[in-house]
Amino acid sequence: MSGRLIDLEQARAGMLLADDLTDANGTVLLPGGAALTEANLASLRRRGIESCRVAEAEAQEDEAARAQRHALAQQRLARLFRHSAEAEATPLLLHLLAAHRRNG
C-alpha cells in the first residue's frame, strides 16, 4: 500500500496505516491496513512514536467528506432515538454517542 509519512500529531482516528508501525526495536505496534483510533493514537504518543505512514486516500480526505459523514451519523442517531425524545436521559446519551462516533 502506498502512503504518505505524516507527523503523529496530524494523524486522525479513521486513517489507515499504509505500513506496519514499529517501535525502535522493530516490534510491530500496529499492522499495515489498521485503522487508527483515538485510543491507539494516545498509546503511540505515550510510546514516543513521532510519525506514521498513512494510506494516501486517507491522507487526502477533505473536510467536506468528513462533514458529510458527520451529518449522516447525526441523522442516523436522530432516527434511532426518534421515539425516546421525551426520556430524561436521551439528550445526554445522544451527546455521548455523537462524541464517540466523532472520535472513533
Residue 67 has pLDDT above 80, yes or no: no
Which residue did the predictor score with more confidence, 44 or 102?
A: 44
Residue 86 has pLDDT above 90, yes or no: no
Give pLDDT tens digits for 11-62. Answer: 999 899 999 999 989 999 999 989 999 999 999 999 999 999 998 765 455 6
> Within 13 Å, how many C-alpha atoms sit on residue 10's CB side?
12
Point out which residues pair with 54 in neighbouring strands: 4, 17
> Within 13 Å, how many C-alpha atoms sit on residue 39's CB side?
4
User: Could you give the C-alpha distances from 47 to 25, 29, 32, 39, 76, in angstroms and in order?
Assistant: 12, 10, 18, 13, 36
pTM: 0.54
CA distance 44 to 40: 6
